[in-house]
Structure 1
Amino acid sequence: MNGSLQPLLEAAGDTLTGERLRMVERAYLTAARWHRGQRRRSGEPYITHPVAVAAILAELGMDHEVLCAALLHDVLEDTDCPEQELVREFGEPVVRLVRDMSALRDPRQVPVIWASETGERALMLKLADRLHNLRTARWLPEPKRRRAARQTLETLAPVAGRLGLGQLEQELERLAIANLPGGDGMQASFGVISAGAVLLPREWRARWLEEWLGELHTLPGRWPRIRFAVQLVSGMPRLAMTLRRPDGRHRPGAGGGRRAGLRCLRWVLASDVRTWSLLMPLVAWLVLDTAGERLGDAVTILITVPPVLAAGVRALRAWLRDRDGRG
C-alpha cells in the first residue's frame, strides 16, 4: 500500500504520524476498494487521481481530514458506497467535505455563488481536483476540456488568488490557457514555448510563461500564434543568458554552482551527439503528445522546433566562446 500512497506520503512529510497517518491509510484503502476496476481515460487505475489530488493538498499544508476527503472525494458520486459507511469510519467533518465537493459539480450551482459561499477547505479540494484534471487534460474530449479551461479562468483561478495561493493560481491559468480550443494553434504554440522555456532559470520560468501565454491567447488564430512562439523561442537563449548573469553575480554562494553549470554546458555543447541526444527526446515528446490531438500541429512542431533549437545551440556556443575569450 505504501508504494501506491508514496506521492502523498512524500508530500506530507513528517506531518502525518500516529492516528492521523492510520486514518489517511484507511481512507486510501476504502477509496481503492470502491474504485477497484475503474480506470481514467488515460488507462491508469482511477485511484491514482485521488492520490494525486491528496498529494497536491499535502504540499499546500492541508490537514489530515482534508487529505482523507481528497482520497474519498469521488467515492459517493462514482461508486455505490453508502454515505453512512463513510460517516462511521471517518466522521461527519470528512464526509461533509466530500458532500460539499460534490455539490460544487451541480450544474444548477452558479460558480460565482459557490466561490463566495463555500467553505475554504472544500474550495481547496475543488482547486486541487481541477489542477490534477488539467495536468492530465490531454485525455479528455475537447468540448469537456474547453469547458473546464474556461471555468478555471473565469472562476477557479480567481478563487485561488483570493485564498492567497499565487503559484496555484498561475499554474491553473497556464494550464487553462493551454487547454483552450487547440485548432487555432494554441496547443502547438504552447508546446513550442514550453520547450524553449526550459532554458530559463527555474525561478523566472513561471513568471515569463504566464506573461507570454497571456499574449498568445490574445493573438488571432493559428499562424500568428505559431509565428509568435517561434520568434520567442529563437530569442530564448539570449534571454536566458541575460537572466542568469545577475544571478551569478549577486546571489551568495552561486559562483561555484554557476561555474559547475558552465562546465557541464560546455561539455554537452562540445558534441553534436550529446547536444541532440538531450534535445531530440524533447522534440519527440512534443510531436507525439500533440499528434494524438492534432496531426497538423504536430507537423508544425516537427518543422519549426528543431531549426529554432539549432539556432539556440549556435547562440550558446558563440556566447561561451566569447566568454572564454574575455576570460
Structure 2
Amino acid sequence: MYGVPVAGNRLLHYLFPIPLMAGVAVWGLARWLAVRRRSLGPALAFGLVLVVLGGFLFLAWKAGRVQRAWTEAKGVRQIAAADRYVQGFAGDRYVVYLLDTGTGRHHETVGRWWAVVQSTIRPDELERTRFYYGRPAGYLDGFPASALRGGTLVPPEAASRALAVVIDRYNHRGFQEAEALPGARVVAQGVAVLNGPAPPAPLPLPAAVEANTRPIGLALAIVLILFTFLVVGSGWALALLPPDPLVRVGLAPGLGAASMILAGLGWDRVGLPFRGWASLGPVAIASVTGWALALIVAARSVVGVQSGPSASPPGGG
C-alpha cells in the first residue's frame, strides 16, 4: 500500500484505525459529560453498551446465517478411517490425499477440505501427508510432475512408494473411478487406496462427534467459559490491578484468558498432553499462579500496614 509492504487485505478488512479513534472519541465524550452533564453520564453509558452489543450480535447473526461449517460428519469420519488405515498399513510411506477440484468448484472449497484433512489426522502424520488436486487417473499419469499444486512435493525418492487415498466426500467422482482401477482397494466405507495392501476386513467408520448446538447448550457453554475466565483471572486482577472493583471484575476474564493461553503454550512446548483430565493442567497452572500472586501481594500489604509509623499517644511528648 503506497509502496509500503503491509497486509493490505487485513488492514482494509478490519479498518484497524477506526475502532481506535472511536474509542478515543467515546472517552473524550465521557469526560465532557462527567463535567457538564453528570446526570446523563450513566444513562448514556448504559445505552452505548446496549448499542455496541446489539450491533455485534446483529452482525454475528447476519454473517452466521449464510456460513457453512468447514467440518462435516461424513468427511471427518472417512478421513479418520483413512488415518486409521495409514496407522496400521502405510508404514513409513508418504500419504497423498486426492481432492477433486470439480467443474466450477471454487479453490477455497478445496483449500478448506485440505484444512479438514490436516485437523483430523494424527499430528505425527502431518509431516508425511500431502494433497493432490484431481482424479486417480491424473494422479497416476502425472505424478509427481503435475501433482500437489500449492503443496509440498513428496521427495523424489519416496514418490513411487507414496500411498494415495481417495475419500468419497471430497472426491466423489475420483472414488467411483478408483473402485474400477486395478490394484485399488476400498478399505472402509467411502475410503479407497490406490496402491496399498488390503486390510483383513473393511475398517469401520468412527462415530462422529456431535456438538450440543441447542440454545440451552450454547448458553450454558458461554456461561461456563466466562465463569472459568473470571475465576482464573480474578487472582491476577487482585494482584495486578488498582483496587477498583469495577476495573478488577471487568478485566478479570481477559486476564484469565491470557494467562490460560500462556500456560497452554508452555504446556505444549514441554510435550505434555491435552487429552482427558490432562487438558485441565494449563487451567490449574494459570489459576494457582494468579491466586498465589494475589495472596503474596495481600500479605505484603498487611505487613506494610502493620509496620507503618505508630501513632503518638495523647499528650505524649
TM-score, normalised to structure 1's length? Answer: 0.27
Structure (1 or 2) with the greater helix fraction: 1
When Rg is computed on C-alpha atoms for both structures, the one with the higher figure is 2
Higher relative contact order (Cα pairs below 8 Å, separated by 6+ residues): 2
Q: Which structure shows the bigger proportion of residues in strand conformation?
A: 2
